[in-house]
């Protein structure tokens, strides 16, 4: 990450930091007062930020812990002048300067002037502290040495009310709220960041174990402060806004009190470079929360889907996003279904509604009932001509080996339709192969086996890779037939081809059925199975467009007939029935069987 002035020339002042100098102080342990628990953590996190993100050389970052007044003066000078290690280390026109302090700050009870408290200082005696005014005046001299093309930044994660930050504790006998810390002269060019105004104490981030100002500064600089859809660089104004807002919010939420940082304006921009190790967990959590809030505010399907796709290892709101997506898609599908029904029902196009409804089909039963009440269409009889119903093949699956039996010509069948009770053409005489009888015994009105059991399996439009297991109640675009309906159709003489697609060896099948054990295989609609099945079905039908293909397998827990019906439809066949009950239901009903 780089700091640079927001000028027309776009000069990057922090691009070359080979000679830049930083002083980083963390005063945790105090001899005459309570400790600042996370001050050492603060110092090391800021050192990481300076080296990793700003490119400061590690040997130019002076990290000091628990410094005394004497050590502060050796580094930063004293009230008589800036002479010290920092002034000696910087180079004219070459050095940017970053000074950081985490520890106690105290006020002078007589003058209300703020002081940084050294580790050996007495919080009740100002003469044992390092005056903030002295620090600012000495940094002005450092600024003059490095020149106008370089920056001097000072960041202080401390407060000057005389409080410890722990509720109810005070560093001194009487705290001194209400005063304003001294400021250097206007135009000094020093950029200052203070953890809080003099009216409230500074707080900690218990999760990161850092000072709250330090934590939020590092999080913002890592990228959280950048405004969405803005330029790649992070403006100082956006960083300032993020730090102030997030510190205020964190202090209220975690500590129940106010903390408002004071941050100077600056003509700088930063390039976010990701989090340092000390804030990685909080950075991920806050970035995830910010992404979710943006998606929630947008409340669109793409926004919610993008949140789920991009949330990464931390994805705390994934379930909420999924719930919102399901709700939106369900509402959209229901609205489309209602609009479709309103249009088509007004035209009495109930069949069009059934064929067009998708996942939501709320008016399905109404459409079916209306269709059942519609007057029948008188069939047009064709001139009598020989027709054939295939007999059992001599070799399983071989269309050329299928025998034929002459019979009276049937009337053309009314086309079957998706999601609808099977409707057959008027009866003609049909002698079932091997039966020798045209009797029509009464068929009881009931279901058999599991043919009407709803296993709550959703429809699919592709071939199932697993052929054993519970099936959906329906196939998209293909009519399901029950045991009773199939027997009635056979008795009525409807021209059909019964096709047994059970892939495993079995001993009996429905009387008159033709075995095609490969027809229900998984795969694709462009594989060799599809080509072979298409040729065989064309051979079986022998050009009789009115005849119906009836596919069945072991029962409602077998996908082979489901796959075979889909394959037949993909091959262009129109009159297709799916007998879901299969062998299990047919045998349970006691209807005629034959050896395979």
User: Does the pLDDT of residue 413 top 90, yes or no?
Assistant: no
User: Does the pLDDT of residue 381 top 60, yes or no?
Assistant: no
User: Does the pLDDT of residue 215 top 80, yes or no?
Assistant: yes
This prediction has a pTM of: 0.56
**Phi, psi for residue 260 in degrees, rounded to 5:** -125, 110
Question: Of the ranges 110-114, 291-295, 397-401, which one carries the lowest mean pLDDT score?
Answer: 397-401
pLDDT in tens, 303-342: 888 988 988 888 899 888 888 888 877 787 888 888 888 8
User: Does the pLDDT of residue 145 top 70, yes or no?
Assistant: yes
Label residue 433 by pLDDT band (50, 70, 90).
Answer: very low
CA–CA dist 105, 161 (Å, integer): 8
Q: Which residue has the tokens 């005629």?
A: 592
pLDDT at position 426, please?
33
**Phi, psi for residue 518 in degrees, rounded to 5:** -90, -10
Kindly report the number of other CB atoms within 10 A of residue 441's CB atom. Answer: 9
User: Does the pLDDT of residue 44 top 60, yes or no?
Assistant: yes
Q: Where do the domains of the chain lie, and which CATH numbers do they carry?
A: 16-204+258-265 (3.40.50.1460), 288-376 (no CATH), 387-595 (3.40.250.10)
Q: Are 575 and 497 in contact (CB under 8 A)?
A: no
How open is the CA angle 355-356-358, to the nearest 5 degrees?
110
The DSSP-derived string for 113-157 is -EEE--TT--TT-GGGSEEHHHHHHHHHHHHHHH-TTS-EEEEEE
Question: Of the ranges 5-9, 441-445, 548-552, 562-566, which one carries the lowest mean pLDDT score?
Answer: 5-9
CA–CA dist 448, 354 (Å, integer): 26
User: Does the pLDDT of residue 404 top 60, yes or no?
Assistant: no
pLDDT at position 59, please?
96
pLDDT at position 508, please?
94
User: Does the pLDDT of residue 181 top 60, yes or no?
Assistant: no
Q: Where are the alpha helices (DSSP H) in 376-482?
A: none
Average pLDDT over residues 1-24: 64
CA–CA dist 2, 393 (Å, integer): 82
Average pLDDT over residues 202-230: 88
Phi-psi category of residue 341: left, alpha or beta, with phi > 0 → left and psi -120 to 50 → alpha: alpha
Label residue 444 by pLDDT band (50, 70, 90).
Answer: low
Q: Which residue has the tokens 């960083």?
A: 239
Q: Are 332 and 352 in contact (CB under 8 A)?
A: no
Label residue 418 by pLDDT band (50, 70, 90).
Answer: very low
Label residue 3 by pLDDT band (50, 70, 90).
Answer: very low
Phi-psi category of residue 162: left, alpha or beta, with phi > 0 → left and psi -120 to 50 → alpha: left
Average pLDDT over residues 384-406: 36
Percent of the chain with pLDDT over 90: 44
Label residue 12 by pLDDT band (50, 70, 90).
Answer: low
- The more confidently predicted of residues 579 and 348 is 579
Q: Are 500 and 516 in contact (CB under 8 A)?
A: yes
pLDDT at position 584, please?
93
Q: Are 113 and 37 in contact (CB under 8 A)?
A: no
pLDDT in tens, 249-282: 988 887 788 899 999 988 887 888 889 999 999 9
Q: Which of 425-434, 473-482, 488-497 has the highest mean pLDDT?
A: 473-482
How open is the CA angle 32-108-106, to the nearest 5 degrees?
50
| DSSP secondary structure code for residue 66 in this structure | S
The DSSP-derived string for 145-196 is HH-TTS-EEEEEE---SSB-SSTT-BSSSS--TT-----PPTT--EEEEESS
pLDDT at position 165, please?
54
pLDDT at position 379, please?
43
Label residue 73 by pLDDT band (50, 70, 90).
Answer: very high
Question: Of the ranges 351-360, 491-500, 566-575, which one carries the lowest mean pLDDT score?
Answer: 351-360
Label residue 374 by pLDDT band (50, 70, 90).
Answer: low
pLDDT at position 258, please?
86
User: Does the pLDDT of residue 561 top 50, yes or no?
Assistant: yes
Label residue 164 by pLDDT band (50, 70, 90).
Answer: low
pLDDT at position 400, please?
34
How open is the CA angle 226-230-234, to the nearest 5 degrees?
40
Average pLDDT over residues 26-36: 94
CA–CA dist 409, 406 (Å, integer): 9
Token pair for 594: 């034959």
3-state secondary structure of 247: helix
pLDDT at position 129, please?
93
Average pLDDT over residues 162-175: 54
Token pair for 1: 């990450």
pLDDT at position 474, please?
94
Nearest to 568 by CA among 544, 529, 534: 534
CA–CA dist 538, 215 (Å, integer): 75
pLDDT at position 63, please?
97
| Residue 223 exposure: Cα atoms within 13 Å on the Cβ side | 19
Label residue 384 by pLDDT band (50, 70, 90).
Answer: very low
- The more confidently predicted of residues 227 and 366 is 366
Rg (CA), the chain: 42
User: Does the pLDDT of residue 227 top 50, yes or no?
Assistant: yes
Q: Are 548 and 495 in contact (CB under 8 A)?
A: yes
Length of the chain: 596
């Amino acid at each position: 990450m780089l700091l640079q002035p927001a000028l027309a020339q776009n000069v990057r002042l922090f691009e070359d930091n080979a000679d830049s100098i930083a002083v980083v102080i963390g005063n945790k342990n105090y001899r005459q007062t309570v400790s600042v628990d996370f001050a050492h953590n603060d110092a090391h996190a800021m050192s990481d930020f300076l080296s990793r993100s700003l490119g400061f050389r590690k040997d130019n970052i002076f990290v000091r812990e628990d410094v005394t007044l004497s050590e502060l003066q050796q580094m930063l000078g004293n009230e008589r002048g800036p002479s010290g290690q920092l002034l000696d280390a910087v180079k004219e026109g070459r050095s940017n300067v970053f000074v950081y302090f985490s520890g106690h700050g105290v006020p002078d009870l007589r003058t209300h002037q703020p002081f940084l408290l050294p580790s050996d200082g007495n919080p009740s005696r100002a003469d044992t502290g390092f005056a903030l005014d002295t620090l600012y005046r000495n940094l002005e001299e450092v600024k003059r040495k490095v020149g106008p093309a370089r920056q001097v930044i000072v960041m202080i994660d401390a407060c000057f009310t005389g409080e410890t930050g722990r509720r109810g504790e005070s560093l001194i006998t009487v705290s001194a709220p209400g005063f304003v810390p001294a400021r250097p002269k206007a135009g000094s060019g020093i950029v200052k960041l203070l953890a809080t105004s003099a009216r409230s104490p500074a707080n900690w981030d218990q999760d990161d174990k850092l000072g709250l100002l330090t934590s939020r500064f590092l999080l913002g600089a890592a990228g959280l402060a950048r405004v969405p859809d803005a330029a790649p660089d992070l403006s100082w104004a956006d960083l300032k806004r993020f730090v102030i807002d997030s510190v205020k919010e964190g202090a209220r939420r975690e500590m129940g009190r106010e903390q408002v940082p004071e941050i100077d304006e600056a003509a700088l921009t930063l390039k976010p470079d990701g989090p340092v190790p000390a804030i990685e967990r909080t950075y991920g959590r806050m970035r995830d929360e910010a992404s979710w809030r943006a998606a929630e505010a947008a409340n669109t399907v793409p926004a919610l889907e993008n949140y789920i796709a991009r949330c990464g290892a931390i994805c705390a709101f994934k379930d909420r996003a999924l719930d919102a997506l399901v709700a939106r898609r369900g509402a959209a599908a229901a609205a489309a279904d209602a609009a479709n029904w309103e249009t088509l029902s007004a035209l009495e196009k109930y069949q069009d509604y059934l064929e067009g409804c998708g996942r939501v089909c709320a008016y399905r039963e109404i459409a079916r009932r209306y269709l059942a009440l519609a007057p029948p269409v008188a069939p047009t009889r064709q001139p009598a001509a020989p027709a054939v119903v295939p007999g059992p093949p001599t070799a399983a699956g071989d269309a050329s080996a299928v025998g034929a039996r002459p019979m009276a010509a049937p009337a053309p069948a009314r086309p079957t339709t998706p999601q609808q009770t099977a409707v057959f053409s008027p009866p003609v005489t049909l002698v079932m192969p091997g039966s020798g009888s045209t009797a029509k015994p009464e068929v009881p009105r009931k279901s058999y086996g599991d043919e009407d059991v709803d296993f709550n399996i959703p429809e699919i439009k592709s071939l199932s890779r697993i052929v054993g297991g519970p099936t959906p109640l329906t196939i998209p675009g293909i009519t399901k037939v029950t045991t009773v309906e199939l027997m009635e159709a056979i008795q009525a003489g409807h021209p059909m081809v019964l096709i047994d697609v059970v892939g495993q060896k079995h001993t009996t099948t429905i009387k008159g059925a033709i075995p095609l054990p490969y027809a229900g295989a998984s795969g694709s609609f462009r594989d060799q199975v599809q080509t072979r099945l298409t040729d065989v079905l064309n051979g079986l039908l022998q050009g009789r467009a009115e005849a119906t293909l009836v596919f069945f397998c072991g029962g409602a827990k077998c996908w082979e007939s489901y796959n075979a019906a889909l394959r037949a439809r993909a091959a262009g066949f129109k009159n297709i029935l799916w007998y879901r009950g299969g062998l299990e239901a047919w045998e349970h009903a006691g209807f005629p069987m034959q050896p395979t």
